Amino acid sequence: MQKKAHFTPKDSNPLYEKFINYLMLDGKKTIARKIFNDTMKFVGEKTKEDPTKIFNKALDNVKPQMEVKPKRIGGAVYQIPREVTANRQITLAFRWIISGARGAKGAAMAHKLGTELLQAAEGQGSAIKKKDDTHRMAAANKAFAHYGRY
C-alpha cells in the first residue's frame, strides 16, 4: 500500500477548522479554506510526504512552553514567567505561523503559508524565532517567578 502524499479537502479535523478560522479575514471562510487546501497541497508536493504530518510537526515545534505576563506589584511592573496552557499553546502557534506567512512578501498566501509550515517543521522560520524569543524572555525573568502566586 502506497503512502498518501496529497491532501484532499475531505481530510478535515477540528484542528484544521480552527486553523482555517484563524486564517480567515473579514468572514471569508471559503477563501481561507481554499488557501489552507492549496497550502497543504503545496506542502505535499514539496516534501512528497503526508502534509498532515508536516502540519502537526510544525505545530508541535512552534508551541511555546513558557511565556511572560506583566504584573503590577507595588508600583513596578514585573514580567512574570508562567507555563502556557494547551489551548493557549495552539492559539499562539497558529497566530505566529500565520503572522509569519503574512509578513513575507512576493508570493501567493498559500505558498507563503506552506513555506512557513515547512520551515517550522524543520525548526526554522519566523514562528520558531518568536517562540525562542518568548522562552528567552521567560528565562531572563525567572527571578520574578515567585510573584506569580500574588
Q: 67 forms bridges with which residues in the sheet? A: 82
Does any domain span residue 22?
yes
Contacts of 68 (CB under 8 A, 6+ apart): 79, 80, 81, 82, 134, 137, 138, 141
What's residue 12's pLDDT? 75
- pLDDT (tens digit per residue) in 129-139: 999 999 999 99
Does any domain span residue 4?
no
- pLDDT (tens digit per residue) in 13-55: 899 999 999 999 999 999 999 999 999 999 999 999 999 999 9
Does any domain span residue 37?
yes
| pTM across the whole model | 0.89
Does any domain span residue 129?
yes
Does any domain span residue 110?
yes
Whichever domain contains 129, its CATH number is 1.10.455.10
- pLDDT (tens digit per residue) in 46-89: 999 999 999 999 999 999 999 999 999 999 999 999 999 999 99
Instruction: Give the Cα separation of 146 and 80 in Å (integer).
Output: 8
Q: In this structure, are strands 76-83 and 66-73 parallel, antiparallel, or unpaired?
A: antiparallel
